[in-house]
């Protein structure tokens, strides 16, 4: 009888050792990381000769949602003729006025000489951006057959979904939360809850009929 008990204890101890040796830290194939919020430098190419009002509105809207600091514009001009720089400076001031009308006051313009006749102006500013979890990449084959084989060996499910979600976030600052308490009337909210708990019926809604007739 004792030998049976001893063998049972040995089997139990052996089983516990096997369980202890199991590796439970195997990385999951399901991406569990969260979308990250980072400070990035946003750049937008603009026509150095003609101002696009729609583009000014889009850039201004993004800046007020996510941007901070000054907005900078680099205007190119062809060297060799002083009038070219004068024209570039005039256009730079026009850009500054267009953005000032929409509320961007800290608009800084600089100028650069270039022999490239197709050179574009560049607007840049710091902004918050939502990005997918670290080490996330597109699903295999997303960018063509050349990415199919290289991504199949390191494929995390849901990464593509996280990447698309990050692109749809219009205001990444919302993910950071808001400091302090909301400016609500706590006493009024508490009164509403007290009435609900006490069983006080809500007043009848009006405006549910098109006329007062029966």
pLDDT in tens, 46-88: 999 999 999 999 999 999 989 999 999 999 999 999 999 999 9
pLDDT, greater one: 198 or 124: 124
pLDDT, greater one: 25 or 68: 68
Mean pLDDT in the chain? 79
Residue 41: its pLDDT value, please? 94
For domain 41-127, is the CATH number 3.40.50.1000? no
State the average pLDDT over residues 132-161: 64
Residue 8: its pLDDT value, please? 60
- Ordered by start, the domain boundaries in the chain are 41-127
Q: Is the pTM of this model over 0.85?
A: no
Q: What is the 3-state secondary structure (H, E, C) of 99-145?
A: HHHCCCCCEEEEEEECCCCCCCEEEEEEEEEEECCCCCCCCCCCCCH
Residues 107-144 pLDDT 10s: 999 999 999 988 999 999 999 988 888 777 766 656 55
pLDDT at 9 > cutoff 80: no
pLDDT at 21 > cutoff 60: no
CB of 46 within 8 A of CB of 121? yes
- Reduced to 3 states (helix: H, G, I; strand: E, B; else coil), residue 213 is coil
């Amino acid at each position: 009888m004792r030998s049976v008990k001893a063998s049972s204890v040995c089997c139990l101890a052996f089983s516990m050792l096997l369980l202890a040796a199991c590796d439970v830290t195997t990385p999951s194939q399901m991406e569990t990381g969260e979308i990250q919020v980072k400070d990035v430098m946003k750049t937008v190419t603009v026509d150095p000769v003609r101002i696009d009002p729609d583009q000014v509105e889009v850039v201004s809207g993004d800046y007020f949602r996510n941007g901070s600091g000054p907005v900078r514009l680099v205007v190119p001009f062809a060297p060799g003729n002083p009038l070219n720089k004068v024209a570039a400076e005039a256009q730079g001031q026009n850009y500054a006025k267009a953005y000032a009308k929409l509320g961007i006051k800290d608009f800084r313009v600089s100028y650069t000489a270039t022999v490239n006749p197709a050179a574009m102006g560049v607007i840049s500013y710091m902004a918050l951006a939502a990005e997918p979890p670290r080490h996330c990449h597109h699903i295999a084959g997303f960018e063509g057959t050349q990415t199919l084989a290289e991504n199949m060996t390191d494929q995390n499910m849901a990464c593509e979904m996280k990447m698309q979600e990050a692109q749809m976030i219009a205001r990444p600052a919302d993910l950071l939360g808001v400091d302090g308490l909301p400016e609500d009337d706590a006493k009024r909210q508490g009164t509403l809850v007290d009435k609900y708990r006490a069983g006080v019926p809500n007043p009848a809604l009006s405006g549910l009929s098109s006329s007062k007739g029966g």
